Amino acid sequence: MALRIIFMGTPDFSVPTLRALVTAGHEIVAVYSQPPRPGGRRGLDLQKSPVQQAAEALGIPVRHPLNFRDPADVEAFVGLNADVAVVVAYGLLLPQAILDGTRLGAYNGHASLLPRWRGAAPIQRAIMAGDAETGMMVMKMDKGLDTGPVALTRRVAIGPDMTAGELHDALSAVGADAMVEAIGKLEQGVLETAAQSDVGVLYAAKIDKAETRVDFNRPAIEVHNHIRGLSPVPGAWMELSLHDKPERVKLLASHVHEAEGEKATAGTVLDDQLTIACASGSVRLVRLQKAGGKALGAEDFLRGTPVAKGMVIA
């Protein structure tokens, strides 16, 4: 028989899992999501999270406590008499009372190959580190940060030019299938878990704005990984001198040109195709976006923004 599930998630990454659980025939008794936040063009309108919007479209009641410090919120959670909680990018650390608040516990869909990249930004950090693969893991949650025993693993290759946005979408789809499989096994009483290794633990710290500026004084492969790991959001950026004033330009895609730029000063524009010298090798910028403008391919960007060969980008 289908399980009674409390679903906990917030961003668009979580939505496919919610929908997949409904399609699989489980009863979603409530959805928990982060409260509506200011948004819109002027930042004045309250914007419901993607998960809340999806839940309401499915006719599922939504709750969004700020935290679970209020005993009434814990009581309301436990009072749902759910079999299991499914958590995908909810955005809150859950206290033990919530982890124990359903019959079978809480299971989390996490976007890395644990114990590598525990924490807030596993997709971006995997690409920025140059990892060749990552994956989705379904983990039974405990009081630690992504430390619980693993029930199911799905591996996903990271292509050499794959961006964080592309990997996000791939993992979101894989994660939905993985969670449906795991919950199906849990329903049948055959879901097994294994403790995580103590070897290879890495933490995926939240992306800080201070680290988003591109530093061409690094090897080309590191610059390339930095650009694709932050694309499309928050976006790596460089500063160009345009019309006698500095202007920030987001870099959304690039290619590595290892054979070029070995003897040029890092940051030097090497040609009329936006190839930039790095500490070793060079990168060719493929997709860019000026503040307030559209994302453009390099050729279209150069039509409106001449960047001369020999210019040095600090």
Q: What are the sequence ranges of the domains in the chain?
A: 4-203, 209-304
CA 182 to chain centre: 22
Q: Taking all residues of the chain, what is their mean pLDDT, rounded to a whole number?
A: 95
pLDDT of the residue at 98:
98
Please indicate if the annotation marks 112 as binding a ligand. Answer: yes
- 50-57 and 15-23 helices cross at what angle (nearest 10)? 20
* 8 A C-beta contact, residue 281 and residue 258: yes
The two tokens of residue 63 are: 């709750």
* Token pair 């906990």: residue: 8
Domain with residues 209-304, CATH architecture: Roll (3.10)
Q: Quote the radius of gyration of the chain (alpha carbons, Å).
A: 22
Q: Is the predicted pLDDT of residue 243 greater than 90, yes or no?
A: no
The per-residue pLDDT for range 15-58, each reduced to its tens digit, is: 999 999 999 999 999 999 999 988 766 667 889 999 999 999 99
> What is the reported pTM?
0.94
How many angstroms separate the CA atoms of 289 and 104, rounded? 47
CATH of domain 4-203: 3.40.50.170
pLDDT of the residue at 304:
86
Of 291 and 42, more confident = 291
pLDDT of the residue at 262:
53
User: What DSSP string describes 32-99?
Assistant: E-PPPEEESTTS-EEE--HHHHHHHHTT--EE--S-S-SHHHHHHHHTT--SEEEEES--SPPPHHHH
Please indicate if the annotation marks 296 as binding a ligand. Answer: no
Q: Is the predicted pLDDT of residue 113 greater than 70, yes or no?
A: yes
| pLDDT range class, residue 261, cuts 50, 70, 90 | very low
Please indicate if the annotation marks 280 as binding a ligand. Answer: no
Closest CA to 95 of 70, 120, 116, 121: 70
